[in-house]
A and B are shown apart, each in its own frame.
Chain A
Amino acid sequence: MWFFNSVIGKIFDILFLPFRGLSPWVAMIVISFLTGLLMLFIFRHTSNQEGIRRIKNKIKAHLLELRLYKDSLAQQLTSQGKILSANFKYFSYALKPMLVMIIPVMLILIQLNLWFGSHSLDIGDEALVKVKLMEGTNPLQTDIRLEVPPGIAVETPPLRIEDEGEIDWRLRATEKGIHNILFRYHDETFTKSVAVGQNRLSKIAVLKPGKGLLEQAFNPGEKPLPKNAPIESVEITYPGRRMNLFGWRIHWLIAYFGLSIVFGFAFRGVIKVEI
Chain B
Amino acid sequence: MNHPIRRRDFIKSSLRAASLLALGTWCGLVTKAQGKKATSRKVIILGFDGMDPRLTDMWMKEGKLPAFQRLTVQGGFHSLGTSIPPQSPVAWSNFITGMNPGGHGIFDFIHRDPKTYIPTFSASATEDASKTIRVGNFVLPIKGGTVKNLRQGKAFWQILEEHDIPATIFKIPANYPPVSSKERTLSGMGTPDLLGSYGRFRYYTTEPKEIQEDIGGGEVHLVYVIGNRVEAKLPGPINTFKKDRPEAEIDFKVFIDPQNPVAKVVIQDQEFILGEKEWSGWKRVRFPLIPSQSVTGICMFYLKEVRPNFKLYVSPINVDPGNPALPISTPESYAKELEKKFGPFFTKGLPADTSALENEILDEEEFLEQDDFVLEESRAMLDYELGRFDSGLFFYYISSTDQRQHMFWRMLDEKHPAYDPALAKKFGGVIENTYREADRILDHVLGKIDKDTVVLVMSDHGFNPFNRGFNLNTWLRQNGYLRLRNEFKQEDLEIGFPSTDWSKTKAFGLGLNGLYINQKGREAEGIVQPGPDKENLVREIARKLEEFTDPKTGEKVVLKAYVARDVYSGAHVDEAPDIVLGFNRGYRISFKSPLGRVPKDVLEDNRAKWSGDHMGAAEIMPGILLANQPFKAESPALCDLTATIMDVFGIEKPEGMIGKTIFE
A227-275 residues with Cβ-Cβ distance < 8 A to B are: 237
Query: Contact between A156 and B227 (Cβ–Cβ < 8 Å)?
Result: no
B239-274 residues with Cβ-Cβ distance < 8 A to A are: 255, 257-258, 260-264, 271-273
> What's the Cα separation between A77 and B657 when bound, in Å?
77
- Which chain B residue shows the least CB distance to A160? B257
Q: How many residues of A contact B (CB 8 A)?
A: 17
B228 at interface, CB cutoff 8 A = yes
Query: Contact between B264 and A169 (Cβ–Cβ < 8 Å)?
Result: no
Query: Contact between B262 and A156 (Cβ–Cβ < 8 Å)?
Result: yes
Query: Contact between B275 and A155 (Cβ–Cβ < 8 Å)?
Result: yes
Query: Contact between A168 and B258 (Cβ–Cβ < 8 Å)?
Result: no
Q: Cβ of A157: which chain B residues have Cβ within 8 Å of it? A: 257, 260-262, 275
B229 at interface, CB cutoff 8 A = yes
Query: Contact between B227 and A159 (Cβ–Cβ < 8 Å)?
Result: no
Q: Cβ of A160: which chain B residues have Cβ within 8 Å of it? A: 257-258, 260
Q: Cβ of B257: which chain A residues have Cβ within 8 Å of it? A: 157-160
Task: Tell me, rounded to whole Å, the shortest Cβ–Cβ distance linking A171 to chain B.
Answer: 10
> What's the Cα separation between A162 and B228 when bound, in Å?
9
Query: Contact between A159 and B260 (Cβ–Cβ < 8 Å)?
Result: yes
Q: Which of B261, B264, B272, B275 contacts A161 (CB 8 A)?
A: B264
A162-218 residues with Cβ-Cβ distance < 8 A to B are: 162-164, 168-170
> What's the Cα separation between A158 and B264 when bound, in Å?
11
A111-164 residues with Cβ-Cβ distance < 8 A to B are: 126, 128, 140, 155-164
Query: Contact between B229 and A159 (Cβ–Cβ < 8 Å)?
Result: no
- Which chain A residue shows the least CB distance to B255? A161
Q: Cβ of A168: which chain B residues have Cβ within 8 Å of it? A: 264, 273
B348-362 residues with Cβ-Cβ distance < 8 A to A are: none
- Which chain B residue shows the least CB distance to A155? B275
Q: Which of A126, A140, A159 contacts B264 (CB 8 A)?
A: A159
Query: Contact between A170 and B273 (Cβ–Cβ < 8 Å)?
Result: yes
Q: Cβ of A169: which chain B residues have Cβ within 8 Å of it? A: 273
A158 touching B260 in the complex, CB below 8 Å, given contacts A163-B227, A163-B229: yes
Q: Cβ of B275: which chain A residues have Cβ within 8 Å of it? A: 155-157
Q: Cβ of B262: which chain A residues have Cβ within 8 Å of it? A: 156-157, 159
Q: Cβ of A170: which chain B residues have Cβ within 8 Å of it? A: 272-273
- How does the 8 Å CB contact mask read for B74-112 relative to A, with 1 for contact and 0 for none? 000000000000000000000000000000000000000
> What's the Cα separation between A87 and B26 when bound, in Å?
46
Query: Contact between B271 and A159 (Cβ–Cβ < 8 Å)?
Result: no
- How does the 8 Å CB contact mask read for B206-222 relative to A, with 1 for contact and 0 for none? 00000000000000000
Number of CB contacts from chain A to chain B under 8 A? 44
Query: Contact between B273 and A161 (Cβ–Cβ < 8 Å)?
Result: no
Q: Which of A140, A156, A163 contacts B273 (CB 8 A)?
A: A156
Task: Tell me, rounded to whole Å, the shortest Cβ–Cβ distance linking B305 to chain A.
Answer: 16
Task: Tell me, rounded to whole Å, the shortest Cβ–Cβ distance linking B283 to chain A.
Answer: 12
> What's the Cα separation between A128 and B262 when bound, in Å?
13
Task: Tell me, rounded to whole Å, the shortest Cβ–Cβ distance linking A181 to chain B.
Answer: 15
Q: Cβ of A163: which chain B residues have Cβ within 8 Å of it? A: 227, 229
Query: Contact between A128 and B271 (Cβ–Cβ < 8 Å)?
Result: yes
Task: Tell me, rounded to whole Å, the shortest Cβ–Cβ distance linking B595 to chain A.
Answer: 43
B254-305 residues with Cβ-Cβ distance < 8 A to A are: 255, 257-258, 260-264, 271-273, 275
> What's the Cα separation between A156 and B261 when bound, in Å?
9
- Which chain B residue shows the least CB distance to A129? B273
- Which chain A residue shows the least CB distance to B280? A126
Q: Cβ of B272: which chain A residues have Cβ within 8 Å of it? A: 126, 128, 170
Q: Pick the most buried of B227, B257, B260, B272: most chain A CB atoms within 10 A of its CB.
A: B257
Q: Cβ of A140: which chain B residues have Cβ within 8 Å of it? A: 258
> What's the Cα separation between A156 and B262 when bound, in Å?
7
Q: Cβ of B227: which chain A residues have Cβ within 8 Å of it? A: 162-163
> What's the Cα separation between A84 and B30 when bound, in Å?
50
> What's the Cα separation between A168 and B228 when bound, in Å?
15
A237 touching B264 in the complex, CB below 8 Å, given contacts A158-B257, A159-B255, A163-B227: no
- How does the 8 Å CB contact mask read for B531-573 relative to A, with 1 for contact and 0 for none? 0000000000000000000000000000000000000000000
> What's the Cα separation between A155 and B257 when bound, in Å?
15
- Which chain A residue shows the least CB distance to B260? A157
Query: Contact between A128 and B273 (Cβ–Cβ < 8 Å)?
Result: yes
Task: Tell me, rounded to whole Å, the shortest Cβ–Cβ distance linking B321 to chain A.
Answer: 15
- Which chain B residue shows the least CB distance to A237? B271
Task: Tell me, rounded to whole Å, the shortest Cβ–Cβ distance linking B296 to chain A.
Answer: 13
Query: Contact between A162 and B258 (Cβ–Cβ < 8 Å)?
Result: yes
> What's the Cα separation between A163 and B272 when bound, in Å?
18
> What's the Cα separation between A212 and B260 when bound, in Å?
31
Task: Tell me, rounded to whole Å, the shortest Cβ–Cβ distance linking A54 to chain B.
Answer: 41
Query: Contact between A161 and B271 (Cβ–Cβ < 8 Å)?
Result: no
Q: Cβ of A237: which chain B residues have Cβ within 8 Å of it? A: 271
Task: Tell me, rounded to whole Å, the shortest Cβ–Cβ distance linking A248 to chain B.
Answer: 12
> What's the Cα separation between A58 and B452 when bound, in Å?
80
Q: Cβ of A164: which chain B residues have Cβ within 8 Å of it? A: 255
> What's the Cα separation between A126 and B261 when bound, in Å?
19
> What's the Cα separation between A168 and B272 when bound, in Å?
10
Q: Cβ of A155: which chain B residues have Cβ within 8 Å of it? A: 273, 275
> What's the Cα separation between A222 and B477 when bound, in Å?
79
> What's the Cα separation between A163 and B227 when bound, in Å?
8
Q: Cβ of A156: which chain B residues have Cβ within 8 Å of it? A: 260, 262, 273, 275
Q: Cβ of A126: which chain B residues have Cβ within 8 Å of it? A: 272
> What's the Cα separation between A128 and B271 when bound, in Å?
8
A81-123 residues with Cβ-Cβ distance < 8 A to B are: none
Assuming A158-B257, A159-B260, what are 15 further A-B pairs, CB within 8 angstroms?
A: A128-B264, A128-B272, A128-B273, A156-B262, A156-B273, A157-B260, A157-B262, A159-B255, A160-B257, A161-B255, A162-B258, A164-B255, A168-B273, A169-B273, A170-B272
18 contacts between A and B (CB under 8 A): A126-B272, A128-B271, A128-B272, A155-B273, A156-B275, A158-B257, A158-B260, A159-B255, A159-B273, A160-B258, A160-B260, A161-B255, A162-B258, A163-B227, A168-B264, A170-B272, A170-B273, A237-B271
> 5 closest Cβ contacts across the A-B interface?
A157-B260, A170-B273, A159-B257, A161-B255, A159-B262
